[in-house]
Amino acid sequence: MVTAKARAVDGPDKPFRAAEIKRRDLDLHDILIEIKYAGICHSDIHTAHGEWGPVNYPLVPGHEIAGIVTDVGAEVTKYKVGDRVGVGCMVDSCGECENCRKGEEQYCLKGNVPTYAGVDKYGEPTQGGYSTHIVVTEDFAVRIPDSIELDAAAPLLCAGITTYSPLNHWGAGPGKKVAVVGMGGLGHIAVKIAHAMGAEVTVLSQTLSKKEDGLQFGAENYYATSDPETFEKLAGTFDLIINTVSAKIDINAYFSLLTLDGTLVNVGAPAEPLSVNVFSLIGHRRSFAGSMIGGIRETQEMLEFCAKHNIVPKIEVISADQIDEAYERVLASDVKYRFVIDTSTI
């Protein structure tokens, strides 16, 4: 059993503190990963603050994990010591249901095991990547291509797959007009991926403050949603809209921007319900959908795609002592565009 150093939070209004957690002994198909970098996701903040339901504190968040394999179980075949690997939002699933057999473990009918704030098959609470080490089954780790630095790879394990999966599923590509709502940690990656897929990309953000970045990342167009004329000008324009915003917005206004048979996919997860006017959908056979990360196979595919197209997130590397400040800055939209913790500082 490995004792890992970590940063934990004890309640919704508590600051992060230094902690030690036990990582289980290696089972036959487990690998031990020395975590090098861990990204900060808005989901971490929602969970740490108890906004998505009861939390079993103390909690160690973090599901954007990049590191090095330092030990393997007796029957591990996929990885060896020294391999560069990542762990995303889940660490296990039943492996037997229809969805798992299709490689859609994120939609496991018995519920996947989240990387933190869950309970594993041994009955122990899961703790995440704000720590120095983690033990996972080899089937829930992915190989990080050599061309992607570990610090930049970390956010791809959530932000990358969360945006790649719906863009892939709903066919973003040449001839398709795709809008990305929000230019934060998820949004800026969505722009890069959609552009690399060949779609015509438009950013819809509250203001034009990040317009220069958006165009540099591959967007052809950039509009401020605070300007009412935006919705009039772009009515009926987009085949696909990816909403990355984790706050309550007037979703019906965005439905009006869809073409006939267009789809708006929510990947942001606001704590409050969104109010849908059905007439915003039925008039043009529009669809409102949701998408949650991707399976392990698709996550590996996403990493290879990003390596091929030189796609990496724009990150700000911080020390473990800056986590509370980073949370405040994320909530204030004061980050370009993803915080990544250097776990050597833990």
Asked if residue 221 has pLDDT above 80, the reply is yes
Q: Give the closest residue to 231 by CA, choosing from 211, 252, 254.
A: 254
The residue-averaged pLDDT of 48-72 equals 96
Query: Which has the minimum average pLDDT: 34-38, 162-166, 174-178, 243-247?
Result: 243-247
- Tell me how far CA of residue 245 lies from CA of 93, 161, 182, 188, 259, in angstroms: 27, 16, 6, 12, 21
Tens digit of each residue's pLDDT (9 = 90 or more) over 84-127 = 999 999 999 999 999 999 999 999 999 999 999 999 999 999 99
CA atoms within 13 A on the CB side of 342: 10
Say what the pLDDT of residue 52 is.
Answer: 87
Q: Give the closest residue to 157 by CA, choosing from 203, 106, 201.
A: 106
Q: How far apart (Å, rounded) are the C-alpha atoms in residues 257 and 330? A: 28
Say what the pLDDT of residue 213 is.
Answer: 97
Tens digit of each residue's pLDDT (9 = 90 or more) over 292-303 = 999 999 999 999
Tens digit of each residue's pLDDT (9 = 90 or more) over 61-82 = 999 999 999 999 999 999 999 9
Asked if residue 224 has pLDDT above 80, the reply is yes
The residue-averaged pLDDT of 234-245 equals 97
**Cβ contacts of 198-205, under 8 Å, gap ≥ 24:** 198/172, 198/173, 198/174, 199/167, 199/172, 199/173, 199/174, 199/240, 200/176, 202/177, 202/178, 202/234, 202/237, 202/238, 203/179, 204/179, 204/180, 204/230, 204/241, 204/254, 204/257, 205/181
Say what the pLDDT of residue 278 is.
Answer: 94
Q: Tell me the CA end-to-end span of the chain in Å, nearest whole number.
A: 19
The pLDDT-based confidence of 273 (bands split at 50, 70, 90) is: confident
Q: Which run of H or E residues covers position 265? A: strand 258-266
The residue-averaged pLDDT of 30-59 equals 95
| Residue count (the chain) | 346
Instruction: Please answer whether residues 161 and 295 qualify as being in contact, where contact means their C-beta atoms are separated by less than 8 angstroms.
Output: no
Indicate the SS3 state at residue 9: strand
Taking all residues of the chain, what is their mean pLDDT, rounded to a whole number?
96
pTM of the model: 0.95
Q: How far apart (Å, rounded) are the C-alpha atoms in residues 115 and 242? A: 25
Phi, psi for residue 45 in degrees, rounded to 5? -70, -45
The pLDDT-based confidence of 248 (bands split at 50, 70, 90) is: confident
For 73, the token pair is 């179980």
Say what the pLDDT of residue 35 is.
Answer: 98
